[in-house]
Amino acid sequence: MNEMDLRQTEIDELLRRSMNAPVPGLPPDFERRVMREVRRRAEPLDRRGRLFLAAYAVISAVISAMVMREQGLEWGTIAAAILAPLVLVVVARAVRRAACRPAPQSST
Amino acid sequence: MESDSQLVARAQGGDQQAFAELVRRHSAHVFRLALSVLGREFVPEAEDVAQEVFLKVHHALASFRGEAEFSSWVYRIAFNQAVNLKARVRFRSPHANDTALDRVAAPEPDPHRKAETAQRDRAIAECIGTLPEVYQSALRLYYWLGAGVVEVAELLGVPENTAKSYLHRARLLLHGMLKERGYSCE
């Protein structure tokens, strides 16, 4: 046995002794907890949340329009500036949904 | 039994049962991998990592294209999540240190020898903590969690020979470090 093999054997035995300790496990309800959290996070906003979000969107759109108008922009440009990001979000979500849809299974 | 890819396809279509089955299949491995990164002192954190990994997986499931095995993808997320958490909890006092945990090995009857063994075990734990993350993880998986080389390779996402070489190099480095500190490995 050469020097390196000897070192490997020595440290191997030492580690087996030193690291020998009880192995913890996951609690039995782990999967249930994960699924509960998954469902909680997947829940859409409640009625109050939706109202708050809608109010925020409307107020910020109105204020943005007023500020842009004061800067002398045309209504058409203002509408495009506000609506373009929205359209982009809708298109991106539609593309993502289409990409994630599982391929139809063949009937054969 | 359905394959992972079939379950993934169903889960991507919104089937929660399929996702629950994926959690059932891989949770123990994810937890072991998190433990191997965090060590014995942070078992509750490893449990949190395991939960967080599956929430991340669920969130990112739509972007999973199946180019790699689902399990490899999950284990990679788990490893990164555990390493990130380790960086945050490093300076927090551990829940229990190595010597405070019951050892499975037979108790040492001689108090002097017991203290020596505890000191050496602490030195080993400290030395392991200075090794690169993958070496630490490989050592804990192999020596503490009882994983074989095949499982070490699978969890770390490397070929079997690489896992063997991680263990080999980690042992050599540890041998040198312990010798430097004046501990005999016999």
CB pair distance less than 8 Å for B51 and A31: no
Q: Which residues does B155 contact at the CB level (< 8 Å), separation at least 6?
A: B29, B32, B33, B36, B75, B79, B137, B141, B147
**pTM recorded for the entire structure:** 0.75
Q: Is the pLDDT of residue B105 over 70?
A: no
The per-residue DSSP string of B116-152 comes to: HHHHHHHHHHHHHHTS-HHHHHHHIIIIIS---HHHH
The per-residue DSSP string of B2-58 comes to: --HHHHHHHHHTT-HHHHHHHHHHHHHHHHHHHHHHH-GGGHHHHHHHHHHHHHHHH
Overall average pLDDT of the A67-76 stretch:
93
User: What band does A5 get if pLDDT is binned at 50, 70 and 90?
Assistant: confident
Domains, chain B, ranges and CATH? 4-89 (1.10.1740.10), 111-180 (1.10.10.10)
How distant is the Cα of B157 from the closest Cα of chain A, in angstroms?
A: 22
CB pair distance less than 8 Å for A21 and B12: no
Lowest mean pLDDT among B50-59, B85-94, B171-180: B85-94
Question: Does ipTM surpass 0.85 in this model?
Answer: no
Cα separation, B77 vs A58, whole angstroms: 39
The overall average pLDDT reported for chain A is 85
Cα separation, A8 vs A5, whole angstroms: 5
Whether the Cβ atoms of residue A40 and residue B143 lie closer than 8 Å to each other: no
Express each pLDDT in A51-70 by its tens digit: 898 999 999 999 999 999 99
Chain B, 1 to 60: residues with Cβ < 8 Å from chain A are: 9-10, 12-13, 16, 19-20, 23-24, 27-28, 31, 35, 40, 43, 46-47, 50-51, 54-55, 58-59
Q: Is the pLDDT of residue B5 over 80?
A: yes
- Asked if B135 is an interface residue toward chain A (Cβ–Cβ < 8 A), one would say no
Q: Is the pLDDT of residue B98 over 90?
A: no
Residue A53 to residues A49, A89, B4, B12, B59: CA-CA distances in angstroms?
6, 16, 38, 28, 22
Cα separation, B57 vs B52, whole angstroms: 9
CB pair distance less than 8 Å for B140 and A96: no
**Helix, coil or strand: residue A53:** helix
User: What band does B112 get if pLDDT is binned at 50, 70 and 90?
Assistant: confident
User: What band does B28 get if pLDDT is binned at 50, 70 and 90?
Assistant: very high
Overall average pLDDT of the B102-109 stretch:
55
Q: What was the pLDDT predicted at B76? A: 95
Express each pLDDT in A31-52 by its tens digit: 999 999 998 887 777 778 888 9
CB pair distance less than 8 Å for B103 and A34: no
CB pair distance less than 8 Å for B139 and A15: yes
Q: Is the pLDDT of residue B72 over 90?
A: yes
